[in-house]
Amino acid sequence: MLLEMKGVEKRFGGVVALRGGALEVRPGEVHLVMGENGAGKSTMMKIIAGMYQRDGGDMRWRGESVHFANPVEAARVGIAMVHQESLLAPHLSVAENIFLGREIQGRFGMIDRAAMMEKARRLIGEHKFPLQAEWRVDRLSPAGKQLVEICRAIQNGTSLLIFDEPTSSLSEAETHEVFKIVRTLRDRGTGVIYITHRMEELRSIGDRVTVLRDGETVHSEAMATLTTASMIRYMVGREVAALYHREPVPPGAEMLRVHNFCAPPSVRDVSLSVRAGEIVGLAGLIGAGRTELCRAIFGLDPAAHGGLWIEEKPARIRSPRDAVNAGLALIPEDRQKTGLARELPISWNVTMAGLDAISPFGVLRRQREGAITAAEIERLRIRCDTGAQKAGRLSGGNQQKVVISKWISRGARVFLFDEPTRGIDIGAKVEVFEVMDKLARNGAAILMVSSELPELLQVADRILVMRQGRIAGELPGRTTQEEIMRLATLESPETQLQ
């Protein structure tokens, strides 16, 4: 046994994050750790990697009881972790980040840049990552940063590697590359702990599963014998329909039309239309231009041009303010950075986009605000104590509902959902889908970007596939993942020329 944990506890002040953490990892296995947000997965992983110290219980490494005071001690015995959120130095290069804290030294203790570059290039080349050793990390996409984290973790002889949701920001192709790395490591006898929310990934990668719920290990079993339904039951503690299914409604009037729309260099000549009651999926690889298209429609890209009609009237949208006034809503992919004011109360977030209506002559009517907030909390079933609570304290799913409520209370009619379920529990995902469905039923038009193909298939009435900035084709809602991927990855004449 490589790693054994039994009855591990961790408290933060009065909050118990982990109270009965148990886990056994063997060399040469991929061990999946599952659980909803807040179940204690990340806390457990950070204890293993030496970032937190346990308050109770036992942890054994190769049979011996261990206690890591810091990540360096854990790294010394061969434990490395690929973090979910980027812990990179943004102003340094890819190579410098890969070797951060263990720089290759040349003569007189000076850093040997050339050797580091060379080694980084070899590492990147070996796995065919779309990275350059000299690129600055802050220019990279979330996916690119994730790949740098992975390079960092696998550069040395590691006997236990922890992946904390490594693929949540990766495209399909990049995910496959990560899987390949994981399998190579496993075949070399490395133990791998793998955390993911993407159900479809599990079976293709995992050997064993351990499920956490409310800070406790509730189940552990071989992947092959565990059904998806029982896995979800263990995670949630109750029965949840694993597959959400939406009944389409007959579409009404055209709400959004985009014609020959360009946002150089990411979006090229896109035309699409969404009608009232419709949820239109937008699929494609990372970098296909989906997020950029949403941003451009919403007035966030000054270089964007092309035809735009809202509710059959031509619209000139130069800024998010124009977009909001035209009835558009954007639920951005990066909720923390652009969707939510985490430090402000829920109620202030709810009314943020619609303040004009409740502040005649600029003076706020706070009772109206309270009433609107109460109504939205009720309507979207936002789980909180009061509307005065800080929005950042809510769980991911409830934060997302607050972001959505901002637009509902504003009376938006055309919704651009960009990765609406990112970082959200299974239970909350279904709730977000239900909210989207209700919006559509009430006559809203929804364009939904998602990299989770099963979700698109469950929710969308039809699916547009983007590739290299263009719409590569349209598929009915009941298509297959293979069909989407075929359109998303087809080589276009341009790439063949390059």
Partner 1 sequence: MIQRLLPFLTLIGLFVFLAVASPHFLTATNLSSVVRQTAVFNTMALGMTLVIISSGVDLSVGSILAMGGLMGTMAMSKGQPIAVGVLAGVLTGAAFGLLNGTLVTQLRISPFIVTLGTMGIVRGLALVVSNGLPVHEIPKAFSYLGEGTVVGVPFVLILLVACAAAVHFVLEHTRLGRYTFAIGSNNDAAVYAGIPVKFHTTMIYAICGLLTGLAGMIEASRLMTGQPTAGQGYELQAIAAVVIGGGSLRGGEGSVTGTLIGGFIMGLLANGCDLLGINPYVQQVIIGAVIILAVSVDELRKRSSA
Chain residues in the site for partner 1 (CB under 8 A): 13, 298, 300, 319-321, 323-325, 330, 332, 337-344, 348, 352-353, 355-356, 359, 362-364, 366, 406
Task: Give the orientation angle of helix 396-410 with respect to helix 366-380, to 10 degrees.
Answer: 120
Closest distance of CB 39 from partner 1, Å: 20
Closest distance of CB 42 from partner 1, Å: 16
The token pair at 347 is: 């109620």
Closest distance of CB 303 from partner 1, Å: 17
Neighbours of 325 (CB within 10 A): 14
Closest distance of CB 104 from partner 1, Å: 36
d(CA 208, CA 29): 8
C-alpha neighbours within 13 Å on the C-beta side of residue 236: 18
395 versus 489: smaller Cβ distance to partner 1: 395
94 versus 323: smaller Cβ distance to partner 1: 323
d(CA 272, CA 254): 11
C-beta of residue 82 within 8 angstroms of C-beta of residue 169: no
313 versus 337: smaller Cβ distance to partner 1: 337
333 versus 431: smaller Cβ distance to partner 1: 333
Q: What one-character DSSP code corresponds to residue 113?
A: H
185 versus 416: smaller Cβ distance to partner 1: 416
134 versus 356: smaller Cβ distance to partner 1: 356
Q: Using a CB cutoff of 8 Å and minimum separation of 24, what contacts does 468-476 make?
A: 468/268, 468/288, 468/289, 468/492, 468/494, 468/495, 469/265, 469/266, 469/267, 469/268, 469/270, 469/288, 469/289, 469/292, 470/268, 470/269, 470/270, 470/289, 471/270, 471/271, 471/272, 472/284
d(CA 5, CA 394): 30
Closest distance of CB 444 from partner 1, Å: 17
160 versus 331: smaller Cβ distance to partner 1: 331
Closest distance of CB 392 from partner 1, Å: 9
329 versus 484: smaller Cβ distance to partner 1: 329
The token pair at 266 is: 């990411």
Closest distance of CB 399 from partner 1, Å: 12
298 versus 417: smaller Cβ distance to partner 1: 298
The token pair at 170 is: 């990766």
Closest distance of CB 356 from partner 1, Å: 7
Amino acid identity for residue 275 in this structure: R
The token pair at 404 is: 């959505």
The token pair at 25 is: 């990892």
Identify which of 170, 97, 91, 95 has the alpha carbon closest to the alpha carbon of residue 138. 91
Closest distance of CB 343 from partner 1, Å: 5
